[in-house]
C-alpha cells in the first residue's frame, strides 16, 4: 500500500495551460492581466466589492491591520487556537495579541471570552475560521457593533464555508485567505485581501505597491511607506484556473468529510468538524477530536498513523504555549483539545479505500 498524504493540490491541464500562457506572454503591458482577472473573479465568488491578490495570507493580514492604523500599544483579540501567521502581523506592528479561549464545539473563538477581554486598548477582534469551521459571526459582529471594534475574518482555511447564507470572508471589516499548496484553492503560495470598505481597499491597494497610489501620475513616487506583498502573474494564472473549478474543489472536500462521517459517526467519544447552523463547512481539514473519557492522546494517534503509513497533522498548539508569548492556561479548551486530536488526510483524489484505511486507524485507537 502506498503512503496516504495529508494533503496535496488538485492540478489539471487547465492550470498548466494558464500558467504556461502567463510565463510565455504575461510580461510588459500584460504583466497584471491574470492578477486583475483573479481578483475580479474572487470578489465575484465571495460576493464582496473588492479583492487584492497578495503573496501570502500573512501579508494580507499585515496590510489590513496596518490600514486600520493598528500599532504600538494597541491590542488585538484572537483565539488561542491559531497558526502563528495570524498573530505575527500584530506583533510586527508593535501591537499585542490577546489570546482567548475557544468554543469546544467549533474550536473557534468564544465570543463571550472575546468580549470579556476587551479593554480601552482593544482595536480589533480576529475571527479565525479554523479548519473550515465557522466562528459565530452573529455574536462577534454584535460585539463589534456594541464596542465600536472591527471584526476581521481570518478565512485562510475557510474557502467554501458558509454562515447563514453568507460566504466566509464576506462579513467582517476585511478578510484574508490563503492559497498555500495545502489549501482547497492553491496558487502554490499566495493569499487574498477582501473587503466591502472602499476606503480600506484603496489604502491596502496603495500599501501593497510600495505605497504608490493608483492615482499617482509621477513615476516612482511613493505616497506612503508601503509593503511588497503582491502576487505574481504566473501564480494568479494558476488561481484563475482553480477559481473556475472552485465548486468542484469545495464539493470534493465536503464529500471527503462526509465520507469520514459515514464511517465514524457510530463511534462514541469522537467529534468531527461540525456543520454551522443554516450553512456549510468548506471542510478544508477534517479533524478528529476524542473525548477526554476515551483516554486517546495526540501521541498515540501520531504513532498509530505512522505505523499505518498515513500522514496526519497535529491540531494547532495554543499560541500562548509558544516561548515568545505568556502562558494563558486559563484558555482551558485551547490548551486541552490539541492533546487529544488529529488532522486527517483530505486531498481531492483520495479513494474510498484511502478513507477506509484512515477510519480503521481511528477505530482501532479506540479499542
pLDDT digits (tens, 9 = 90+) for 130-169: 999 999 999 999 999 999 999 999 999 999 999 999 999 9
**Do the beta carbons of residue 279 and residue 161 sit within 8 Å?**
yes
* Alpha helices per DSSP H over 228-350: 233-244, 246-264, 298-307, 332-336
269 and 238 inside one domain: no
Q: Residue 211 and residue 168: Cα distance in Å, rounded?
A: 29
pLDDT per residue over 328-339, tens digit each? 999 999 999 999
Nearest to 179 by CA among 228, 107, 243: 243
pLDDT score of 72? 98
236 and 307 inside one domain: no
- The CA distances from residue 31 to 34, 35, 138, 366, in Å, are 8, 8, 41, 55
335 and 235 inside one domain: no
253 is catalytic: no
223 and 327 inside one domain: no
238 and 255 inside one domain: no
pLDDT score of 297? 97
**Do the beta carbons of residue 246 and residue 348 sit within 8 Å?**
no
Residue 154 lies inside a defined structural domain of this protein: yes
Identify the domain containing residue 260 by its residue range.
247-366
Q: What is the mean pLDDT of residues 53-73?
A: 98
User: Could you tell me what percent of the chain has a pLDDT over 90?
Assistant: 98
pLDDT band at 366 (very low <50, low <70, confident <90, very high): confident
**pTM metric for this prediction:** 0.97
Domain termination site, one of 190, 214, 244: 244
pLDDT score of 215? 87
Catalytic residue among 37, 183, 230, 253: 183
Task: Give the gyration radius of the chain's Cα atoms.
Answer: 21
Q: What is the mean pLDDT of residues 27-33?
A: 96
CATH number for the domain spanning 282: value is: 3.90.1150.10
Bridge partners, 280 (sequence order) = 162
Amino acid at each position: 500500500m502506498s503512503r496516504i498524504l495529508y494533503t496535496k493540490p488538485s492540478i489539471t491541464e487547465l492550470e498548466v495551460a494558464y500558467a504556461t500562457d502567463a510565463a510565455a506572454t504575461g510580461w510588459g503591458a500584460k504583466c497584471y492581466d491574470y492578477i486583475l482577472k483573479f481578483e475580479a473573479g474572487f470578489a465575484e465568488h465571495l460576493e464582496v466589492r473588492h479583492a487584492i491578490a497578495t503573496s501570502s495570507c500573512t501579508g494580507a493580514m499585515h496590510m489590513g491591520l496596518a490600514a486600520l492604523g493598528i500599532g504600538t500599544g494597541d491590542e488585538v483579540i484572537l483565539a488561542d487556537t491559531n497558526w502563528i501567521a495570524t498573530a505575527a502581523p500584530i506583533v510586527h506592528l508593535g501591537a499585542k495579541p490577546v489570546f482567548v479561549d475557544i468554543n469546544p464545539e467549533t474550536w473557534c473563538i468564544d465570543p463571550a471570552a472575546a468580549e470579556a477581554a476587551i479593554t480601552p486598548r482593544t482595536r480589533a477582534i480576529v475571527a479565525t475560521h479554523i479548519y473550515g469551521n465557522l466562528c459565530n459571526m452573529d455574536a462577534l459582529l454584535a460585539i463589534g457593533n456594541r464596542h465600536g471594534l472591527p471584526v476581521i475574518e481570518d478565512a485562510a482555511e475557510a474557502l467554501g464555508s458558509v454562515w447563514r447564507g453568507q460566504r466566509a470572508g464576506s462579513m467582517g471589516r476585511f478578510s484574508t485567505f490563503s492559497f498555500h499548496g495545502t489549501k482547497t484553492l492553491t496558487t502554490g503560495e499566495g493569499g487574498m485581501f477582501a473587503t466591502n470598505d472602499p476606503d480600506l481597499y484603496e489604502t491596502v491597494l496603495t500599501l501593497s505597491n510600495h505605497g504608490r497610489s493608483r492615482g499617482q501620475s509621477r513615476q516612482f513616487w511613493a505616497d506612503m511607506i508601503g509593503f511588497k506583498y503582491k502576487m505574481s502573474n504566473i501564480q494568479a494564472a494558476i488561481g484563475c484556473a482553480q477559481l473556475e473549478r472552485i465548486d468542484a474543489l469545495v464539493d470534493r472536500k465536503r464529500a471527503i468529510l462526509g465520507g469520514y462521517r459515514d464511517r465514524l459517526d457510530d463511534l462514541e467519544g469522537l467529534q468531527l468538524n461540525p456543520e454551522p447552523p443554516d450553512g456549510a463547512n468548506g471542510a478544508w481539514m477534517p479533524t478528529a477530536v476524542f473525548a477526554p473519557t476515551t483516554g486517546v492522546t495526540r501521541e498515540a494517534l501520531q504513532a498509530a498513523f505512522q505505523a499505518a503509513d498515513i500522514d496526519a497533522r497535529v491540531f494547532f498548539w495554543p499560541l500562548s504555549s509558544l516561548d515568545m508569548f505568556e502562558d494563558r492556561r486559563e484558555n482551558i479548551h485551547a490548551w486541552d483539545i490539541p492533546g487529544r486530536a488529529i488532522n486527517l488526510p483530505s486531498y481531492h483524489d483520495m479513494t474510498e479505500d484511502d478513507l477506509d484505511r484512515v477510519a480503521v486507524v481511528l477505530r482501532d485507537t479506540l479499542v
